[in-house]
Amino acid sequence: MHSLRFTAESSSNGVVERDFTVGDVPGVLWSPASGADRAPLVLLGHGGGAHKRHPAVTGRARLLVTGCGFHVAAIDAPGHGDRPRTAYDEREIAELRRAQAAGEPEGPVVVRYNARLAELAVPEWRAALDALQGLPEIGADGPVGYFGIAMGTAIGVPLVAAEPRITAAVLGLMWPDALVETAKRITVPVEFGMQWDDERIPREAGLALFDAFASKEKTLHANAGKHFDFPRFEADGAARFLARHLGRAVTSPA
Amino acid sequence: MHSLRFTAESSSNGVVERDFTVGDVPGVLWSPASGADRAPLVLLGHGGGAHKRHPAVTGRARLLVTGCGFHVAAIDAPGHGDRPRTAYDEREIAELRRAQAAGEPEGPVVVRYNARLAELAVPEWRAALDALQGLPEIGADGPVGYFGIAMGTAIGVPLVAAEPRITAAVLGLMWPDALVETAKRITVPVEFGMQWDDERIPREAGLALFDAFASKEKTLHANAGKHFDFPRFEADGAARFLARHLGRAVTSPA
């Protein structure tokens, strides 16, 4: 087991932010500045082309720390953020850019590339979770949630299916092709976001992935608008969903 | 214009509850006990066979008053609560019971009966709104929302389409048959609830009604479970939706 090594620490507006590495994988852990009490942990998966400190990630992290008192962790996916791209990454990204420029569907490239990244990322997330649970303020038996949209769902579905420590997940905005069979093995509560007028992922494809989860408790949030119109208020809904299932009250209005 | 006549008043846990009549129609107005400041008004439509003080109605009313500081009003639909049933009501209710006992689909009876009730109820709601806006603590120019599920949607869709004073609506759990054309005229923000495994309303029917709204801002909340499993936490989501669109912060955790 790789141990967790902290490399930097800062604090602002009630949130302590610590950079860490587990093996070669860099991450960030956000925690409430107020106390050392044990609190649930939420793992944040970033989107394709983004990284552990993308504004969407840090915004969700702050919301979950200050609103729910959670610890929140993000790591860079392979080929993302501070991690080097391989020749394979470069080829797939070039192919995605080519398809986009040619007006061709990007689904086939994204599905294939993200499925490969998920094979690498799932064991990295599990090693990070092992290491994070070694911290006294998190502990080995506390509740763990996952929140990741788009590529964060391409990685999140196999992660949640493989990892019994994760007991609630917020997912969404991904093609079902590589994920449906794995989603059928997921039984923990799921909140799933999709865009009703998504120009990239057909409506039926989004509904099919939601339908696949075996979870007795699952909620679909479908909002009018295109792919990148995914509304910011869904982060607030996600915080409330995670608070409900990981056992914390939401203390700040949003 | 009928004026509003208060017939009883009580107060508990921060909520003032006043019975009223507008013409022959009895209603209840719930308001914050704390103050006389003007606040938005939410109209609550009850479900079929229920009434203005059904527990689902009073629960939502308390949540909206104490959580958002709104005024909240409910009136009895024709043939419901304190209002007499006509021979027509009795015939339709008997036909519904017969279909249920025979294991036949209840959709055709509910759709037809609720559409008739909506023709009567829409002008009653509009008269009640006229009268409620005559109260100084509500006023003629404040924001107005509507929240009604099932029969509350059968009445709510034509009401929201007809009534420009209503600027946000929470709806759901109804067959689309009598409502789709009217829903296409609705452009205000809508939050729409459906049950993913509804044994009464087919999934495609629920999705079709959501799809029909012309609103640029609309959100579908679809939850796993059967018709009557509609989850209580959706009332909290509805409060946050109404607070977002009627312009109030939500001040209590839920």
pLDDT tens digits, B170-225: 999 999 999 999 999 999 999 999 999 999 999 999 999 999 999 999 999 999 99
The answer to whether residue A149 scores a pLDDT higher than 50 is yes
Q: Does A233 touch chain B (CB under 8 A)?
A: yes
Query: What letters, b where the CB count within 10 A reaches 16 and e where it falls short, cover A12-29?
Result: eeebbbbbbbbeebbbbb
Domain limits, chain B: 4-245
| Average model confidence (pLDDT) across chain B | 95
pLDDT 10s digits, B111-137: 999 999 999 999 999 999 999 999 999
The answer to whether residue A253 scores a pLDDT higher than 60 is no
User: What's the average model confidence in pLDDT over A219-224?
Assistant: 98
Backbone angles phi, psi at B169, to 5 degrees: -145, 140
Predicted TM-score (pTM) of this structure: 0.93
- Please give the structure tokens belonging to residue A118: 């998920």
Q: Are A221 and B216 within 8 A, CB to CB?
A: no
To test the contact with chain B by mutation, choose from A188, A197, A215, A220 the residue with the greatest count of B C-beta atoms within 10 A, namely: A220
Q: How far is A73 from chain B (nearest CA, A)?
A: 24
| Average model confidence (pLDDT) across chain A | 95
Instruction: Using alpha carbons, list the distances in angstroms from residue B18 to B2, B10, B62, B73, B131.
Output: 17, 7, 13, 9, 14
Report strand pairing: A15-22 vs A4-12: antiparallel
Q: How far is B249 from chain A (nearest CA, A)?
A: 7
* pLDDT at residue A4 in the model: 94
pLDDT 10s digits, B27-38: 999 999 987 578
Q: Does A229 touch chain B (CB under 8 A)?
A: no
Residue in A with minimal Cα distance to B211: A196
Percent of chain B with pLDDT over 90: 94
B146: which residues sit within 8 A by CB, 6+ positions away?
B42, B43, B45, B156, B159, B160, B166, B168, B169, B170, B171
Instruction: Give the burial class of A237: count Cβ atoms within 10 A of its Cβ; 0-12 exposed, 13-18 middle, 19 or more buried.
Output: buried
User: What's the average model confidence in pLDDT over A39-65?
Assistant: 97
* B100 vs B251, more confident: B100
Q: In terms of Cα–Cα distance, which of B110, B133, B113 is closest to B22? A: B133
Instruction: Using alpha carbons, list the distances in angstroms from residue A33 to A18, A185, A203, B33, B203.
Output: 11, 37, 42, 36, 46
Q: At B226, which amino acid appears?
A: K
Cβ atoms of A240 and B236 within 8 Å: the answer is yes
To test the contact with chain A by mutation, choose from B220, B230, B233 the residue with the greatest count of A C-beta atoms within 10 A, namely: B220
* pLDDT at residue A251 in the model: 61
Which secondary-structure segment (H or E) carries B162?
helix B151-162
pLDDT band at B2; cut points 50, 70, 90:
confident
Q: How far is A222 from chain B (nearest CA, A)?
A: 5
B89-94, Cβ contacts within 8 angstroms, sequence gap of 24 or more: B92/B116
Q: What architecture is the B4-245 domain classified under in CATH?
A: 3-Layer(aba) Sandwich (3.40)
CATH of domain A4-246: 3.40.50.1820
Q: How far is B220 from chain A (nearest CA, A)?
A: 5
Cβ atoms of A151 and A114 within 8 Å: the answer is yes
- Please give the structure tokens belonging to residue B158: 């034509």
CA B96/CA B118 separation, integer angstroms: 17
The answer to whether residue A178 scores a pLDDT higher than 80 is yes
